[in-house]
Amino acid sequence: MNNINELFHFQIADLIRRAVPFALAPEGDARKEEFRQLQMKMQEIDDKARRHAVRILCVGFASFILQFALFFHLTFWEFSWSIMEPLAYFLAGLQLIFCYGYFLRTASNPTLQDFKRRLFLARRRKLCAKLSFDMDRYLNLQKHSRDPPEGGCGSQDQDRKHYDL
């Protein structure tokens, strides 16, 4: 009798309730409401992170426009091309060095799309920490919901990779 495990009916019901997706649970289930709240909070975090990434890219775009306008002005009104050519050459070389450094650090192409994604994920991570968002709980509830993450169904490690945590 020492090796017998006894499960009571409420323990069995609790185990079944945890295993069944809560999309099939009744409307008043606390997990559904908690997941909705976490989804809304995550949506707010994603919106803030996306706006931040776009803002940084717009500042970069504006700096390139200002650089071009400054070089244009200096070339045709202040100095001649013989003075501005080496400056433009060295500045272009410096930008190439920065892109290559980005490639070495991230092991990915220095494209704007990749840079925007990295900015977004970094800002999301910081906002989640600042707002004390429980990402583990969110991923656990998402795994039990009807809607899988965009990366498809998978383990929690795959979900964490999707959210870059």
- Number of C-beta neighbours around residue 76 at 10 A: 11
Helical spans, DSSP H, in the chain:
9-19, 30-73, 81-106, 112-130, 135-144, 156-162
What pLDDT sits at residue 162?
55
Question: For the chain, what is the mean pLDDT?
Answer: 80
Q: Can you read off the two tokens belonging to residue 83?
A: 């003075």
pLDDT band per the 50, 70, 90 thresholds, residue 106: confident
pLDDT surpassing 50 at residue 14 = yes
pLDDT band per the 50, 70, 90 thresholds, residue 152: very low
pLDDT band per the 50, 70, 90 thresholds, residue 146: low
Q: What percent of the chain has pLDDT over 90?
A: 32
The burial class, CB within 10 Å (0-12 / 13-18 / 19+), for 90 is exposed
